[in-house]
Amino acid sequence: MGVIPYDVTEEDKRRFDEDGYWISPKLLDDDTIRRLREAHERVWSKKHDGHGLPFYDYSLPENPLALRKLDNGWWINDEIRAVVTDRELGKMASELLDEAAIRLWHDQVIYKPGTSGQETKAGNVGWHQDYGYWRVSSTTNMVTVWIALQDTDLSNGGMMTILGSHKWGAVEGSDTFFEQDMGKLKAKFATRDWVEEPCILKAGQASFHHALTFHGSGTNYSSEPRLSVVAHLMPGDTHFRDVRQKHDNLRLLGGRPVPGMRFDRDEYFPLLYAKE
């Protein structure tokens, strides 16, 4: 149960720093994977744990082949909460980012339907940088942990990262998760060496990608949905930076947030790990 401990090595860190992503060993045992797959079913059929409401109102897309995504699944599901707030994930992130403490920025529950070979862009995730959405954060030193709940590769719409693109800085207009024309986005962003690396994961493995790493994903040609749980993690002292482009997390700082305020209220941004 829980995330299987793993000590990040110097070589893992070197890969993360150099490539902008790192593939972990298997972090979940088969029983936890099964329970998270059930958690998906519960979330999509609106069976919620606890007494609260979801982060926002959500419903299934009309197109059955469209991507399903919910942010902050941990608010309404105990299994998801246990994984995305697990100390071991925080410890790995702390080592990769070289930060003393790690909090949850938010999570994502992502379901990409299988098309059984049908060509459609409905499940695509456009090439984007996560920080393209997170500009209110005082730091780009954040990481996304994408946990596979089945074996995942390009045949079932697995993610691809652009090698070394975290060194390009925060690129203008990179908040393009929901744009589904990969070719058009590539033409826009591939102004430097564009090397697409498939994230090939066994069930229970995770890819850790830097907030500035370009990534995206294409069609799930299989007949089964591609399920994942994703934790976006930040340094413990991340604060609000005043920028034009806002983010929903700002609401969690209260009605009148002030630049410099830390995203550190435990009930919204749980602390996963702090070095002793």
Binding site for ligand AKG (CB under 6 A): 108, 110, 125, 130, 144, 146, 159, 177, 215, 217, 228, 230
- Residue 10 C-beta: closest distance to ligand AKG, Å: 26
- Is the Cβ of residue 61 or residue 260 nearer to ligand AKG in the bound state? 61
- Residue 54 C-beta: closest distance to ligand AKG, Å: 18
Report the alpha-carbon distance of residue 239 to residue 112 in Å, rounded: 33
Report the alpha-carbon distance of residue 61 to residue 258 in Å, rounded: 36
Q: Give which of 52, 121, 122, 36 is closest to 44, Cα–Cα.
A: 36
> In terms of C-beta density within 10 A (0-12 exposed, 13-18 middle, 19 or more buried), how is residue 110 classed?
buried
- Is the Cβ of residue 1 or residue 56 nearer to ligand AKG in the bound state? 56
- Residue 51 C-beta: closest distance to ligand AKG, Å: 28
- Three-class HEC string of 91-123: HHHHHHHCCCEEEEEEEEEEEECCCCCCCCCCC
- Residue 161 C-beta: closest distance to ligand AKG, Å: 10
- Is the Cβ of residue 155 or residue 262 nearer to ligand AKG in the bound state? 155
- Is the Cβ of residue 11 or residue 119 nearer to ligand AKG in the bound state? 119
- Residue 48 C-beta: closest distance to ligand AKG, Å: 22
- Residue 276 C-beta: closest distance to ligand AKG, Å: 30
Q: Give which of 148, 125, 266 is closest to 203, Cα–Cα.
A: 148
- Is the Cβ of residue 94 or residue 124 nearer to ligand AKG in the bound state? 124
Q: Report the DSSP pairing between strands 215-217 and 159-162.
A: antiparallel
- Residue 125 C-beta: closest distance to ligand AKG, Å: 4
Contact 27, 4 (CB under 8 A): yes
- Is the Cβ of residue 77 or residue 220 nearer to ligand AKG in the bound state? 220
Helix (H) / strand (E) element for 231: namely: strand 226-235
Q: How far is CA 113 from the centre of its chain?
A: 18
Q: Give which of 93, 84, 83, 102 is closest to 21, Cα–Cα.
A: 93
Structure tokens at 258: 């002030």
Report the alpha-carbon distance of residue 21 to residue 146 in Å, rounded: 11
Residues 72-106, buried b or exposed e (16+ Cβ, 10 A)? bbbbbbebbbbbbbbbbbbbbbbbbbebebbbbbb
- Residue 110 C-beta: closest distance to ligand AKG, Å: 5
- Is the Cβ of residue 144 or residue 165 nearer to ligand AKG in the bound state? 144
Which residue is nearest to ligand AKG, using beta carbons? 217
- Is the Cβ of residue 146 or residue 273 nearer to ligand AKG in the bound state? 146
